[in-house]
Chains A and B, each alone.
Chain A
């Protein structure tokens, strides 16, 4: 199985300031079709995860442009340009290069 490792596990942030979360995979996430299936999700307490970014850097419909994703191969980063109060919660990276799909352990963003 591909192991997804996120850092940090907890991140105190200041409103209006930037934040970033890293995700490293135990093997390359480049699929044989040439795509890299790395997603970022956000979860608030008591709610299901919500898709933010797919294929490294593509923002899902309705996701604010303060969220961006970068990376390649095994190293990926989610960036928030200016943190807003609604951004609190837990962020997960997820790989879909191969089964079983696997998730990072989560990064808790706290104001």
Chain B
């Protein structure tokens, strides 16, 4: 059974930092791109970042570029998001997500599993 379990969230003051983790199990983690998606209070999801299976390629949303760093440890089946210079607009629930892979390793353009989410609150 696929499981994605986020941790590391909480309350932080503006300008502060947090490191989120996502522990993965039930699939071959090292074979998959992995994603972070966040959702502000009462809002739709927003794509944040993604990382390639070997960790060498990363992409970021413009709103967090230069402040957040995605990484992974395939030996530990864990995805990370280092968040620096946090502001109130970064408040929300952060999800890690696994992409759906179709037969023949073809893309689906969607996520079949999401973690339960971890709340990050940026406030003084």
Contacts and interface: CB of A to CB of B under 8 A. Distances in A.
Interface string A31-44: 10101011101000
B45 interface: yes
Contact of A60 (B47, B112, B114, B117): B112
Contacts of B116: 47-48
A49 interface: yes
A37 B110 contact: yes
Contacts of A96: 107, 109-110
Given A54-B108, A99-B59, A48 B46 contact: no
B61 interface: yes
Contact of A105 (B44, B61, B95): B44
Interface of B: 43-47, 50, 59, 61-62, 95, 100, 107-112, 114-117
Interface of A: 31, 33, 35, 37-39, 41, 47-51, 54-55, 58, 60, 92, 94-97, 99-106
